[in-house]
């Protein structure tokens, strides 16, 4: 994965901070390799998993936005979306959006959001022709079921 200058700047700071915090020699080695790769503006496939994990923590906690402001968060999000988990989340969102497009032209009778557990929600859309149930949690958004009729 190639990095732009603004992505590189945010990642160097985040990885450097993480490297200062980890005590495991194995993780220090991984973050050291990752830091070198980011310094070259090129993250190889085998280092994308530790990068995505680091970005998830920084983005979910709000740390990246707090430290690097909105522009830094945007750069980190661009990188995250190119990681394996980021691409999978985008694919699931695309699938849900495609399913939601099928509702166009239908009469929306009911729309509900209900908690499905800690940090997890179900969204149901009831139309004159059926029901669509979407689940949203920390792993993304996915189509749970479709009932026609």
Is there a contact between 51 and 11 (Cβ–Cβ < 8 Å)? Answer: yes
How far, in Å, CA of 69 to CA of 51, rounded? 20
Is there a contact between 127 and 109 (Cβ–Cβ < 8 Å)? Answer: yes
Bridge partner list, 137: 140
How far, in Å, CA of 90 to CA of 72, rounded? 20
Pick the range with the lowest mean pLDDT from 13-17, 34-38, 43-47, 105-109.
105-109
Is there a contact between 99 and 143 (Cβ–Cβ < 8 Å)? Answer: yes
pLDDT at 149 over 80: no
How far, in Å, CA of 46 to CA of 29, rounded? 13
Token reading at 68: 């690097």
Is there a contact between 126 and 145 (Cβ–Cβ < 8 Å)? Answer: no
User: For residue 103, what pLDDT is reported?
Assistant: 86
SS3 122: strand
CA distances from 111 to 32, 41, 105, 106 (A): 49, 45, 15, 13
pLDDT > 90 in the chain, percent: 79
How far, in Å, CA of 72 to CA of 16, rounded? 15
User: For residue 34, what pLDDT is reported?
Assistant: 97
Please state, rounded to an integer, the average pLDDT across all residues of the chain.
94
């Amino acid at each position: 994965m190639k990095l732009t200058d603004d992505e590189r700047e945010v990642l160097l700071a985040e990885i450097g901070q993480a490297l200062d915090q980890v005590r495991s020699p194995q993780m220090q080695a991984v973050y050291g390799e990752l830091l070198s790769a980011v310094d070259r503006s090129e993250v190889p496939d085998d280092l994308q998993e530790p990068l995505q994990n680091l970005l998830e923590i920084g983005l979910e906690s709000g740390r990246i936005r707090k430290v690097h402001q909105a522009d830094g968060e945007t750069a980190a999000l661009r990188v995250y979306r190119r990681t394996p988990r980021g691409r999978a989340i985008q694919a699931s969102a695309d699938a849900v959006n495609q399913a939601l497009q099928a509702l166009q032209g239908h009469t929306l009778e009911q729309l509900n959001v209900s908690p499905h557990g800690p940090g997890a929600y179900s969204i149901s859309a009831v139309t004159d022709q059926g029901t669509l149930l979407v689940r949203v949690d920390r792993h993304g958004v996915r189509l749970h079921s479709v009932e026609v009729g």
